[in-house]
Amino acid sequence: MLTAKNHNGSLVTLFNIETKEKIIEMKKEGHYHCPCCENEVTIKAGKMKVPHFAHKRNSSCHAFSEPESEYHLLGKLNLYQWVSTQYPATLEAYIPEIKQRADILVMSGNKKYAIEFQCSSIPEEVFIQRTNSYLSAGIFPVWILGEKNINKLGQNEFSLRHFDWLFLSGSQESPSIVAYCPLKHRLAKLHKIIPFSPRTAFALHSHFPLSGLSFNDLFEMQSGVFPFLSRWREKRRAWSFHNGKSANWKDPFYRNLYINQLTPATLPPEIGIPVPGIHMVETAAIRWQSYIFTDTIYRKEEGRPVLMNEFIQAYRNRIDMGHIRLRVLPLISEKDCLFPLFGYVSFLLSTGYIEEREKGYFKVRKKVEIPRTVAQAVELEKNFYYVHQNLLQWGK
């Protein structure tokens, strides 16, 4: 923590006290207390350290989790210094009605924001509980992830842990993850996040020096298209190849393929495609789309009707059975879990596999061709991506 009460009960912040002498003097001055639990805290300062207060051993303070890393302290301080030049802000503000302490509380007009700079993982329930408490107090939470947590695998490719996904915020159509690096003094954003699997995702990555940004820029949406489709295909091909050999038949996904006389190596390319809303599903696209496909149009002949309701039922059933898992996205307030399904149905429409007769009422226009051999699967895949690349490289 960077703020504590001195013996007079006034708040002392360590952020602009940099000299060693001053720290020594403060230490001599005596006792400091935690503004939240009133327990005694001591000054910690070293050569390379951000001076800060820390509870004595065995503290049971609810407002501060310790130890705080240097990375976290520095980030909190930088973000505070940055935002406080734009709006009235309080560092480590304690909010009594919800018994919660925000890293930074910002007052922008009549709106209140709580900035949480989070560098270490906390349990999902704690994340959700803190978020909901802020909202219940009329405070809009702004969670910023420590950038060191983001694991970049390639130009536009990332490995995101379950915890990192909690930071997804903004609109359900185009959410982003905001991260900050106190060592580079820069803010990073991941936009257009397209997961291939529960952990691997493609995304547009942009960063800006903090000094060049305003607080409101945090909420700006970024648009742009980035070339991820060739990597997507590579990963999908690698998946087909690998999983064809090591399929676990106890897994409901493989069992479902087996029942339907399909194999990973010869799945049609129409299964496992990037669609809008895909970030809302934790289950890999290949899996969830295979369920939708086999449960709806797979066994229907040309000309047969298929209802929007059948797609919805299939999706809901698989969710209930635990075969399709949706992501927990506490920062996206208005979300429709059907959004990714609509993305897939609209793909089937645009590619002419189904056509709409009336609202919610379709008919099968042409059947998806099922490859019989691996060689044929390779050929179909090539042709499919050649014909539909504009549609699949969405982000128009």
CA dihedral 13, 16, 19, 20 (to 10 degrees): 30
Contacts with Zn ion: how many residues (CB under 5 A)? 4
Dihedrals φ, ψ of 356, to 5°? -90, 125
Q: What is the smallest separation between the CB atom of 94 and Zn ion, expressed in angstroms?
A: 9
Tokens encoding 261: 């006389």
| Per-residue CA distances from 311 to 144, 334, 340 (Å) | 37, 22, 12
Question: Which of the ranges 27-35, 170-178, 273-281, 302-310 carries the binding residues for Zn ion, by CB under 5 A?
Answer: 27-35
**C-beta closer to Zn ion: residue 34 or 285:** 34
DSSP 303: T
Q: What is the smallest separation between the CB atom of 41 and Zn ion, expressed in angstroms?
A: 7
Q: What is the smallest separation between the CB atom of 185 and Zn ion, expressed in angstroms?
A: 29
Rounded to whole angstroms, how far apart are CA atoms 24 and 15?
Answer: 15
Tokens encoding 225: 């298209």
**C-beta closer to Zn ion: residue 93 or 188:** 93
Among 12, 17, 26, 37, indicate the residue that binds Zn ion (CB under 5 A).
37
**C-beta closer to Zn ion: residue 61 or 332:** 61
**C-beta closer to Zn ion: residue 68 or 270:** 68
Query: Are the C-beta atoms of 141 and 130 separated by less than 8 Å?
Result: yes
* Strands of the chain, DSSP E: 3-5, 11-13, 32-33, 40-44, 52-55, 89-95, 100-108, 111-118, 139-146, 151-154, 157-159, 176-181, 186-195, 200-209, 305-307, 354-358, 361-364
Q: What is the smallest separation between the CB atom of 107 and Zn ion, expressed in angstroms?
A: 24
Question: Which of the ranges 2-10, 35-43, 168-176, 259-267 carries the binding residues for Zn ion, by CB under 5 A?
Answer: 35-43
Question: Which of the ranges 15-23, 61-69, 78-86, 90-98 carries the binding residues for Zn ion, by CB under 5 A?
Answer: 61-69
Query: Are the C-beta atoms of 147 and 188 separated by less than 8 Å?
Result: yes
Question: Which of the ranges 29-37, 102-110, 155-163, 235-243 carries the binding residues for Zn ion, by CB under 5 A?
Answer: 29-37
Among 2, 34, 181, 187, indicate the residue that binds Zn ion (CB under 5 A).
34
Q: With b meaning 16 or more CB within 10 Å and e meaning fewer, what string describes 367-383?
A: ebebbeeeeebbebbee
Tokens encoding 219: 């909420």
**C-beta closer to Zn ion: residue 76 or 318:** 76
Question: Which of the ranges 30-38, 45-53, 139-147, 184-192 carries the binding residues for Zn ion, by CB under 5 A?
Answer: 30-38
Q: What is the smallest separation between the CB atom of 37 and Zn ion, expressed in angstroms?
A: 3
Q: What is the smallest separation between the CB atom of 144 and Zn ion, expressed in angstroms?
A: 23
**C-beta closer to Zn ion: residue 34 or 275:** 34
Footprint on residues 87-146 left by Zn ion (CB under 5 A): none
Examine residue 61 and tell whether it contacts Zn ion (CB under 5 A).
Answer: yes
Q: What is the smallest separation between the CB atom of 137 and Zn ion, expressed in angstroms?
A: 20
- Beta-strand relationship, 176-181 and 186-195: antiparallel
Query: Are the C-beta atoms of 170 and 221 separated by less than 8 Å?
Result: yes
Among 36, 190, 278, 324, indicate the residue that binds Zn ion (CB under 5 A).
36
Question: Which of the ranges 55-63, 91-99, 115-123, 235-243 carries the binding residues for Zn ion, by CB under 5 A?
Answer: 55-63
Q: What is the smallest separation between the CB atom of 64 and Zn ion, expressed in angstroms?
A: 5
Q: What is the smallest separation between the CB atom of 22 and Zn ion, expressed in angstroms?
A: 24
Which value, in Å, is the radius of gyration of the alpha carbons in the chain?
26
Question: Which of the ranges 17-25, 59-67, 346-354, 364-372 carries the binding residues for Zn ion, by CB under 5 A?
Answer: 59-67
> How many H helices and E strands in the chain?
10, 17
**C-beta closer to Zn ion: residue 5 or 189:** 5
Rounded to whole angstroms, how far apart are CA atoms 317 and 324?
Answer: 9
List interacting residues with Zn ion (CB under 5 A): 34, 36-37, 61
